[in-house]
């Protein structure tokens, strides 16, 4: 490093830099001194390259050296920067060096660096030396990283920096603004208030435009840095911004800074700025058109888009117009950013924004400046994203979709007809940025509503063609064009494109032949959508053959290519598969089908293309066209069977699906001999460890048995042991259970010798053992019911008789339980009215002691399901039992619930149920005021489900019951509403939406149980169909928030021997309220007043264990989706979090209490980790101090573990959706 040859010095320094970056590199005392001295000398080296490399070494070096050497380096580099004798080059190197040191020095050495540099920088700034740019830069970096360490120097630093805001040099003023913004982050409230008041006062009183512009720019920068802390000054700042934004003598730069500050305040102080949004938006809409140097500026632009002739004339003027000094475009661009900030942060104003903002944005398509026009596009895209988000909240509402003023309706009726002609012209522009922006906007339009652009495709075709075929076009333009085309084809009716395919297909196929693999892959994806357009749902009305002749060779060429990128190969395989599946009867494709199938087989053998090939075989196998797969069928099935032995779950899953489609193919009977090989590989897949794979394996087994019934013997020998083990799993449910039932049904119908009905029944009965989980007994009973339903009448009667006798006479409770459940399952599938003893036998079991046995509930289940098989005979008996045996009413009402649930599935069953409703309803009404809550809940479920069957009668009756003077009746009525709300669209929805406010008004009821019932119904409704309550959400949340408070009048003391125990009767309702808050946050965030929500959440952080856990979850989510609001309320959140994480259990605490406290601490730390990820959270001094406590000792280890665990899975998508882009 001291060699006279600069090349040697350079290489030695380069080697040192490489070594310093290694964690294993250590320095002893002597070498440390030598290296530091050598590097400091190299900072003044005659070679610029050596100097540059030496300064790069400072960053990693300062992390490895001792304090004395660090002091020497900092002092020496600072000397170079501030010395009058240093030349410019050395000063520049020193500036870079100090920045490296500040950025990379260890936190523990931060105070030392700040102490050595800050005082000298302040003295330098106070001197009369002109060159102060670098000093301001360094001070800004120090404040940015070590702001809290500067606490003692805040006043001194401010006094040194503030005078430079009035410097004559623009660069100095900008550096001073940046420095003040960084300093403001860590300023205590007292100093911060003084700083802002000083800036506001000067901005309001000074006369020089240049100085005012600087001060407003400083206020905007501080706002971006400190966020919510600026909120309390909004009343003083906004009038100043409005005054200078509208002042005629303001220059363009001042206006631009005003609008930048508006934007920052809208995004950073959403609560305080809310009352001023309309005023700010109106000003922005005026200046988004501000173009004083353009002749058409004063014209009335508000109502209609310009004609094509007028635009052409404007474009001609643009070509001759040039003014390098015109900065008005910056005002227009910053105004557009303000509008975008309003759109992004105020989704509740969406309808109003469509009326006031969009017409103005549309007129700005005449914009001359490219940057401004792109900002207009971006603003419209923000609006469309908010429209999509708003639509998701109301997509189930019949009423909402019919509103003429809904955002989607406004877009469809008034906006798109004006927007599309203008966008079509933008696609012909020479600027590739404009084209990209236009296509991105068009793609977003397709996401708002299917078919939105149906009437405008013809307008877009010329622009699409030119974007794809022009040779000198930017690749990004082609990518955006293809991406838009894919979205367009997939979201519009196929018939829309039939007249335009002749024009669109050639440029798409030209893109398939491009060299850039990303364009090729995207073009193939577009071809995939084109195929669906050519022949939708196997339709033959459109003559697609001429297009196939061009499409197939282009795609086939890519399928054959061996040197293509993997993405291209996968897209080509998928596209070819869909071609064969959808258009395989076309002569062009039919001639090459054999070659394509051979290539698929080759791709199946390649590990890289195997997943795509498996999916392709599934697509072809499921084709409605008769495709001859015989050339590859045997080999394909063999290879797929081999794949089942691999470890990849995804490959196993897709292989099972492919095997199923191939085995059920028309020619599959020819390869039935392969069934033995397939079945031998299925046994290991049938396990409770993976129920979905079990479902696929069982489904494949059923299909094999349909093709090859003789395979039943192999199923018996190979698979049935695993099947029996699966039946005994308490996890068995859903699709895997359904496929298991289908398998038993198929086996019974085959009637294999020594594996027929009797053997299957015996096998199933042998599984039932004492203490087996009830869920397993239920699975066994369903399997038995299926085989009985498919048995002969003689076998059926014998089996039913056996189970009746088991229920009557067996002393084994497990046998009686199985008998009851099995009779219920059989009765649901088969009419058992021919069994005279059945009803009385089941009723007799209802009187068993329910505390000790599950038999009464099983009998209740059986009674209901037996009645399902023959309503006319069994339902009247059931209703009679309810009226004559009050002690059995709870269980008998459960039976009625079974009847109603099972008979609400198909139109025929619903009609049959409606015929019996006159007999059912009076009994249900009579039990609405039952003193037992459990009984009332069953009645409410019955009434709610009947409301879905006959809404026009039941909903008004429930309204009437909701006004009853009896509290139990009111609770039943509002609970019944919960069961009338279903997730899928239903004809009852408009009726419920009209009356739901009357029911949820019971949140204010005087009775505690009624309020809790209303709260649970509200929670259920928000979760399953939020649109029903969106219109009244704000009013309902007021009541919810009221119930989150601890009410002393509901707390009582209970004496338990010598001890007194406090009982909170309001706890259950309070838990329900917080659960409701969580659901509202999940489903209706955009309709939420987040600051009010957070204030009540802060109270929940001080409540009981369960409520704290819920609040921690909500806080974690809010930190992601509403970070600005969390920062505003952070002061109130820190203390309860601190109490929770530092809480210690008593020395005599039991293990359960220790575990609960540990889980609570971890839950709180997860919330703290989420908050710590919020940008600029370090500006909150109270939270930063709390974080220092959290990061120390045992608590710090937990915090770090949680931070690492959540880092990779942190959900930042929600936050991104709220960001500008």
CB 331 within 8 A of CB 364: no
CB 694 within 8 A of CB 686: yes
Q: List for the chain the helix, strand, coil content (%; round to 5).
A: 75, 0, 20
Instruction: Give the whole-angstrom CA distance, residue 1106 versus residue 1098.
Output: 14
Instruction: Give the whole-angstrom CA distance, residue 635 versus residue 21.
Output: 55
pLDDT of residue 1179: 66
Of 233, 226, 216, nearest to 182 by C-alpha is 226
Q: Which H helix or E strand runs over 1062?
A: strand 1059-1064
- The encoded tokens of residue 499 equal 């007249």
Instruction: Give the whole-angstrom CA distance, residue 747 versus residue 60.
Output: 73
* Angular region, 542: left φ>0, alpha ψ -120 to 50, beta rest: beta
Radius of gyration, CA atoms only, the chain = 38
For residue 742, count CB atoms less than 10 angstroms from its CB and return exposed for 0-12, middle for 13-18, buried for 19 or more. middle
127 C-beta neighbours (distance < 10 Å), count: 12
Of 1078, 970, 1079, nearest to 1020 by C-alpha is 1079
pLDDT of residue 465: 93
Q: How far is CA 898 from CA 741, 779, 865, 870, in A?
A: 21, 18, 6, 13
What are residue 1051's DSSP bridge partners? 1064
pLDDT of residue 333: 95
What are residue 1053's DSSP bridge partners? 1062
Instruction: Give the whole-angstrom CA distance, residue 604 versus residue 617.
Output: 9
- The encoded tokens of residue 428 equal 């012909």
SS3 string of 917-963? HHHHHHHHHHCCCCCCHHHHHHHHHHHHHHHHHCHHHHHHHHHHHHC
SS3 string of 740-766? HHHHHHHHHHHCCCCCCHHHHHHHHHH
Instruction: Give the whole-angstrom CA distance, residue 837 versus residue 822.
Output: 16
* Angular region, 1055: left φ>0, alpha ψ -120 to 50, beta rest: beta
Instruction: Give the whole-angstrom CA distance, residue 86 versus residue 931.
Output: 93
CB 186 within 8 A of CB 153: no
- Over the stretch 505-537, which tens digit does the pLDDT of each residue have? 999 999 999 999 999 999 999 999 999 999 887
Instruction: Give the whole-angstrom CA distance, residue 780 versus residue 741.
Output: 10
pLDDT < 70 regions, the chain? 85-86, 129-130, 151, 295-325, 392-405, 538-540, 666-672, 850-852, 1179, 1208-1221
Instruction: Give the whole-angstrom CA distance, residue 149 versus residue 153.
Output: 9
Cβ-based neighbours of 261, under 8 Å, separated by 6 or more: 216, 217, 219, 220, 223, 237, 241
- What phi and psi, each to the nearest 5 degrees, are found at residue 1054? -120, 130
What are residue 1062's DSSP bridge partners? 1053
Cβ-based neighbours of 533, under 8 Å, separated by 6 or more: 489, 494, 497, 498, 501
What is the SS3 assignment for 132?
Answer: coil
pLDDT of residue 1015: 95
Helices (H) and strands (E) in the chain, counts: 62, 2
From first CA to last CA, the distance across the chain in angstroms is: 48
What are residue 1054's DSSP bridge partners? 1061
- What phi and psi, each to the nearest 5 degrees, are found at residue 7? -65, -40
Instruction: Give the whole-angstrom CA distance, residue 838 versus residue 1020.
Output: 39
What is the SS3 assignment for 1061?
Answer: strand
pLDDT of residue 1213: 41
């Amino acid at each position: 490093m001291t060699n006279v040859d600069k090349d040697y010095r350079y290489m030695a320094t380069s080697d040192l830099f490489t070594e310093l970056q290694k964690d294993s590199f250590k320095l002893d005392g002597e070498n440390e001194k030598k290296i530091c001295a050598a590097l400091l000398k190299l900072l003044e080296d005659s070679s610029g390259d050596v100097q540059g490399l030496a300064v790069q070494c400072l960053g990693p070096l300062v992390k490895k050296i001792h304090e004395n050497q660090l002091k020497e380096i900092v002092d020496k580099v600072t000397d170079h920067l501030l010395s009058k004798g240093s030349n410019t080059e050395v000063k520049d190197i020193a500036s870079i060096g100090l920045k490296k040191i500040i950025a990379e020095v260890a936190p523990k050495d931060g105070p030392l660096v700040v102490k050595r540099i800050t005082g000298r920088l302040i003295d330098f700034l106070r001197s009369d030396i002109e060159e102060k740019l670098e000093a301001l830069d360094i001070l800004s970096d120090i404040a940015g990283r070590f702001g809290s360490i500067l606490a003692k120097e805040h006043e001194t630093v401010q006094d040194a920096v503030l005078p430079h805001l009035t410097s004559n040099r623009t660069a100095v003023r900008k550096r001073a603004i940046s420095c003040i913004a960084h300093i403001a982050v860590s300023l205590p409230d007292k100093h911060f208030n003084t700083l802002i008041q000083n800036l506001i006062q000067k901005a309001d009183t000074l006369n020089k435009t240049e100085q005012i512009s600087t001060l407003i720019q400083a206020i905007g920068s501080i706002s971006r840095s400190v966020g919510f802390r600026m909120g309390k000054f909004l009343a003083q700042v906004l009038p100043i911004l409005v005054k200078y934004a509208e002042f005629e003598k303001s220059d363009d730069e001042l206006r631009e800074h005003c609008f930048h500050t508006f934007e920052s305040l809208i995004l950073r102080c959403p609560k305080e700025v809310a009352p001023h949004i309309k005023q700010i938006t109106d000003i922005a809409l005026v200046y988004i058109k501000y173009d004083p140097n353009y002749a058409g500026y004063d014209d009335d632009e508000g109502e209609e888009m310009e004609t094509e002739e007028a635009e052409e004339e404007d474009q001609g003027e643009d070509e001759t117009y040039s003014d390098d000094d015109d900065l008005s475009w910056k005002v227009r661009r910053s105004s557009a950013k303000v509008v975008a900030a309003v759109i992004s942060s105020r989704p509740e104003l969406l309808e109003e924004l469509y009326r006031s903002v969009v017409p103005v944005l549309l007129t700005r398509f005449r914009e001359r400046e490219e940057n401004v026009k792109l900002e207009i596009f971006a603003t419209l895209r923000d609006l469309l994203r908010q429209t999509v988000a708003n639509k998701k909240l109301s997509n189930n509402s019949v009423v909402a979709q019919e509103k003429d003023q809904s955002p989607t309706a406004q877009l469809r009726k008034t906006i798109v007809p004006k927007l599309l002609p203008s966008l079509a012209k933008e696609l012909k522009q020479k600027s590739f940025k404009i084209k990209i922006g236009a296509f991105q906007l068009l793609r977003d339009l397709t996401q708002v509503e299917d078919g939105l652009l149906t009437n405008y495709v013809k307008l877009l075709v010329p622009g699409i063609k030119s974007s794809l075929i022009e040779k000198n076009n930017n690749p990004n333009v082609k990518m955006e064009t293809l991406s838009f085309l894919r979205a367009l084809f997939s979201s519009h009716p196929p018939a829309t494109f039939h007249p335009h395919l002749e024009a669109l297909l050639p440029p798409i196929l030209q893109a398939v032949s491009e060299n850039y693999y990303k364009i090729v892959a995207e073009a193939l994806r577009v071809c995939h959508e084109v195929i669906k357009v050519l022949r939708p749902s196997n339709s033959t009305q459109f003559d697609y053959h001429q297009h196939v002749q061009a499409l197939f060779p282009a795609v086939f060429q890519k399928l054959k290519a061996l040197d293509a990128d993997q993405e291209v190969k996968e897209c080509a395989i998928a596209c070819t598969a869909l071609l064969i599946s959808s258009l395989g009867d076309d002569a062009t494709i039919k001639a090459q089908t054999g070659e394509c199938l051979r290539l698929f087989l080759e791709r199946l053998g390649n590990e890289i293309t195997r997943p795509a090939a498996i999916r392709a075989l599934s697509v072809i196998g499921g084709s409605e066209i008769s495709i001859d797969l015989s050339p590859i069928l045997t080999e394909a099935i063999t290879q797929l069977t081999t794949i089942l032995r691999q470890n990849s779950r995804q490959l196993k899953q897709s292989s099972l699906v492919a095997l199923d489609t191939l085995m059920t193919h028309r020619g599959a009977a020819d390869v039935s001999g392969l069934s033995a090989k397939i079945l031998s590989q299925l046994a290991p897949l049938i396990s409770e460890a993976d129920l979905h794979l079990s479902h696929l394996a069982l489904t494949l087994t059923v299909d094999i048995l349909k093709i090859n019934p003789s395979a039943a013997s192999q199923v018996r020998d190979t698979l049935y042991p695993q099947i029996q083990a699966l039946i005994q799993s308490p996890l068995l449910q859903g699709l895997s259970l359904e496929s298991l039932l289908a398998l038993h049904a198929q086996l019974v119908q085959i009637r294999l010798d020594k594996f027929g009905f009797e053997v299957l029944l015996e096998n199933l009965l042998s599984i039932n053992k004492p203490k087996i989980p009830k869920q397993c007994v239920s699975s066994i009973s369903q399997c038995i019911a299926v085989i009985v339903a498919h048995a002969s009448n003689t076998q059926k009667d014998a089996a039913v008789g056996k189970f009746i006798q088991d229920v009557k006479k067996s002393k084994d409770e497990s046998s009686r339980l199985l008998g009851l459940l099995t009779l219920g399952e059989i009765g649901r599938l088969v009419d058992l009215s021919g069994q005279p003893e059945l009803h009385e036998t089941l009723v007799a079991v209802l009187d068993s002691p329910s505390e000790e046995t599950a038999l009464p509930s099983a009998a209740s289940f059986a009674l209901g399901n037996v009645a399902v098989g023959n309503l006319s005979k069994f339902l009247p008996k059931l209703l009679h039992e309810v009226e004559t045996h009050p002690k059995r009413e709870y269980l008998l009402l459960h039976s009625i619930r079974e009847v109603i649930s099972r008979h609400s599935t198909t139109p025929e069953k619903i009609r049959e149920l409606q015929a019996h409703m006159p007999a059912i309803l009076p009994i249900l009404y009579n039990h609405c005021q039952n003193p037992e809550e459990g009984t009332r809940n069953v009645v409410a479920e019955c009434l709610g489900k009947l409301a879905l069957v006959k809404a026009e009668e039941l909903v008004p009756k429930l309204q009437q019951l909701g006004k009853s003077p009896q509290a139990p009746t009111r609770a039943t009525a509002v609970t019944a509403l919960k069961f009338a709300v279903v997730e899928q669209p239903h004809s009852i929805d408009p009726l419920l939406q009209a009356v739901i406010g009357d029911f949820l008004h019971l949140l204010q009821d005087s009775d505690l149980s009624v309020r809790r019932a209303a709260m649970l119904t509200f929670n259920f409704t928000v979760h399953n169909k939020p649109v029903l309550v969106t219109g009244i959400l704000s009013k309902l949340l007021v009541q919810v928030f009221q119930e989150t408070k601890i009410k002393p009048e509901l707390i009582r003391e209970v004496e338990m021997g010598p001890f007194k125990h406090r009982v909170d009767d309001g706890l259950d309702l309070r838990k329900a309220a917080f659960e409701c808050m969580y659901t509202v946050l999940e489903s209706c965030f955009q309709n939420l007043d987040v600051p009010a929500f957070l204030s009540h959440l802060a109270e929940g952080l001080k409540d009981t264990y369960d409520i704290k856990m819920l609040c921690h979850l909500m806080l974690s989510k809010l930190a992601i989706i509403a970070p600005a609001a969390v920062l505003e309320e952070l002061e109130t959140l820190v203390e309860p979090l601190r109490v929770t994480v530092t809480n210690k259990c008593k020395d005599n605490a039991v293990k359960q209490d220790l575990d609960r406290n540990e889980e609570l601490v971890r839950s709180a730390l997860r919330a703290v980790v989420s908050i710590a990820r919020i940008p600029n959270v370090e500006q909150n001094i109270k939270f930063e101090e709390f974080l220092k406590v959290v990061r120390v000792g045992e608590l710090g280890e937990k915090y770090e573990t949680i931070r690492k665990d959540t880092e990779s899975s942190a959900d930042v998508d929600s936050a991104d959706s709220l960001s500008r882009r």
